Structure 1
Amino acid sequence: MSLFVLLAVLGAAFLHASWNAIIKVGTSKVAAMVILSVAEVPIGLAIALTRPWPAAEVWPWVLAAGCCHFAYKSFLTFAYEHGDLSRVYPIARGAAPMAVALVGAFALSDAVTAGQYAGIAVLGAGILLMARGVFTSGEERRLLPFALGSAAATACYTMIDGLGARVSGDAVAYVAWVFVADGLIFGTGMVAWKGTALLRADARAWASGTAACAASYGAYAISIWAMTVAPIAVVAALRETSILFAVLIGWLVFGERMTRDKAMASALIVAGVMLTRL
């Protein structure tokens, strides 16, 4: 993996942590996620219609990704209803690269070195340490099944998107069409379930949701592009450094306490990133 790709994926990680922070700030997490999803459709179309039309074999990947994203966003939204950003985010994002690496060893053709797997393992240790507070700090444990469900869906769409973008041959177009499918499936599903009141938000909520959507697209597009030029498991692990950015946002913006465990976990995450570069 080149230095340029590394820096691009780290930038995507920052954008991902940022849009999650925006969603967490909202009073209604479901409404915020629905607004983000509605905004995905015009943003996706505006980009997709400037690119060549995808081949027929690309559409099953797009639809599968849209369904996985529905599960991912649903679990993540309900997890945020029960827990803090600095706890939900590490669990939800942290378990995914472990699953990708384990499944990828059998299902993917990418060559991942022993050193890179060691880096993924160190990253995992840091992520687990970051999430430990849910057991030791008396936090609401109902967040756990939702956060783990989000992680499972993340692992699924990571592999689907990486392979789908390769089938497409145009990562930008592929991401744009997945955004359209994701926005339509999640937005329609949640409005059908929770009612149209989710859409009756004020201008500030719509502006925040749209900003979160733009950050989400940037994070997603960069990551999927990186998967077309670097091993999927390594990119999936590197982008989980968004956990470090989420902790910093929680500390510097939300005033969350920086504990010794969080500092140690951050150091492990950085160490894992360095190992994946060997």
Structure 2
Amino acid sequence: MTPLVTFAVLIAAITHASWNAIAHGIRDQLLAFTLVGGGGALCGLALAPFTALPAAGAWPYLLASAVIHVVYYVLLMRSFHLGDFGQMYPIARGTAPLVVTVLGAVFVGETPDGWQAAGIALASAGLVGVALWGVRSSRRPRADAPAPVPTGGPPGSQTTDGPPWLALTAAIATGLSIAAYTVVDGLGVRASGTPLGYIAWLMILEGFAVPAYALATRRRTLLTQLRPIARRGLLGGVLSVFAYGLVLWAQTRAPLAPIAALRESSIIVGAAIGALFFKERFGGPRIAAAGLMAAGIGLMLHAG
């Protein structure tokens, strides 16, 4: 974890929280992720001609990652639908580092030393503390939000109430999908020989799935519904490519587990965005948990 790698992952964390906040701020989640996915795919198409084609050994990882990312998008839509951004985002992100540590040790042979493992555990505990304080099952409709569109989107495309355990389950499942694609992409980008080529083709393969579903279900009304939010959603797509591109580059320079843990510092940004822009409570317990997370990251990086 050199200073350059650390800086890149921290920038990725801030950018990731920002695009997630953009997506959460669009009430119709199917429209939001149609634009995020479509924007990412367009970035991939623009980048691909100027990069080398990933090596043959990377393509099984690319295909597997694309499938996992589609599952991730569906679960993320569901968790945003059921809970507050400042809680669902940290739960989803906080689940990943410990799972990545285990998977990295099993499949990649990257076993952290004792201090590093303690730092990852401490950081993850802080993440969960930030997330679980005052879990609520559904976010309140914003006064300026448009009415949801009553069409047949997937879970997460409309706002409904649900029990707290359902919101928590959706967020944890999202975290497990994050851990899965983190390890798959960590292996794939190393086998590709070209981090830029890998991210370009990953965005192409995964990016059109949600837009294709939206087109099939919304048909002629889709363009009309997308027009008022197109700029915000496409910006979210560009930010998502930039954030994950930095992470993939970092995974070619350092072990997976500390990168996964440091990347989840984005939850501090996410919690702050939730408090400032979505008027969600932050409070003393989340501040204490955030300090615990910062201490864990500091220990992890110092040990590394």
> Hey, what's the Cα distance between the residues in 2 that align with 1:134 and 1:96?
21
CA contact (8 A) 1:69 1:182 kept: yes
**Structure 1 residue 272 and structure 2 residue 278: aligned?**
no
For 1:167 and 1:188, the matched residues in 2 are separated by: 29
Q: Using the alignment, how far apart are the partners of 1:90 and 1:269 within structure 2?
A: 11
Identify the residue that residue 260 of structure 1 maps to in structure 2: 284
TM-score with structure 1 setting the length = 0.94
- Spell out, residue by residue over 1:11-31, the C-alpha distance to the aligned partner (whole angstroms, 9 max, x if none): 100000000100111120121
Kept after mapping to 2: 8 A contact 1:91/1:151? yes
Inter-CA distance 250–161: structure 2 relative to 1 (3 Å threshold)? same
Deviation at 1:198, TM superposition (A): 4.4
Q: Which amino acid aligns with 1:98?
A: L
Cα deviation, residue 85, structure 1: 0.5
Amino acid at match of 1:15: T
Equivalent pairs counted in the alignment come to 276
Conservation of the 8 A alpha-carbon contact between 1:34 and 1:198: no
CA shift in 2, pair 1:160/1:200, >3 Å: farther
Report 1:151-190 matches (<5 A): 151-190=175-214
Q: Which residue of 1 aligns with 2:8?
A: 8
Structure 2 counterparts to residues 10-159 of structure 1, below 5 A? 10-135=10-135, 140-141=163-164, 142-159=166-183
Identity in percent: 35
Gaps of 5+ in 2: 139-162
Work out the CA distance in 2 between the residues paired with 1:2 and 1:111: 18
Q: Taking structure 1 as reference, are residues 259 and 173 closer, same or farther at Cα in structure 2, changes over 3 Å only?
A: same
Larger deviation, residues 92-101 vs 255-264: 255-264
1:268 Cα deviation after fit: 1.2
**Equivalent in the alignment of 1:200:** 224
Q: Which amino acid aligns with 2:259?
A: V
Q: Residue 227 of structure 1 is aligned with which of 243, 247, 251? A: 251
Amino acid at match of 2:201: W
- Aligned-partner SS, 1:54: coil
Contact (CA 8 Å) 1:66, 1:185: kept in 2 or not?
Answer: no
Q: Are the equivalent residues in 1 in contact too, given 2:31–2:226 (CA < 8 A)? A: no
Residues 131-183 of structure 1: per-residue CA shift (max 9 Å, x gap):
22355x67641212211221111111000111100000211110111011111
Please, which of 251, 261, 267 is the counterpart of residue 243 of structure 1? Answer: 267
Q: CA deviation at 1:128?
A: 1.4
Q: Distance in 2 between matches of 1:33 and 1:272?
A: 32
Please tell me the root mean square deviation across aligned C-alpha atoms, in Å.
1.7
* Structure-1 separation of matches of 2:301 and 2:133: 29
Task: Assess if the C-alpha contact under 8 Å between 2:90 and 2:130 holds in 1.
Answer: yes
Letter in 1 for 2:71: A
Q: How many Å separate the matches in 1 of 2:223 and 2:132?
A: 36
The CA deviation string for residues 62-107 of structure 1, in whole angstroms up to 9 with x for no partner, is: 1111100001010000111111111100111111111111222222
Q: Deviations over 1:203-259 (max 9, x none)?
A: 341111111011111110001110100001110111000001111112233333321
Per-residue CA distance 1:175-206 (angstroms, 9 max, x = gap): 111011111233324544x4334443243411
- The residue that corresponds to 2:148 in the other structure is none
Q: 1:198 to 1:237 in 2, by over 3 A?
A: farther
What's the offset of the Cα at 1:126? 0.5
Note closer, same or farther for the CA distance 1:134–1:187 as it changes in structure 2 (3 Å cut). farther
CA distance in 2 between partners of 1:186 and 1:57 (Å):
27
- Match of 1:277, SS state, is helix
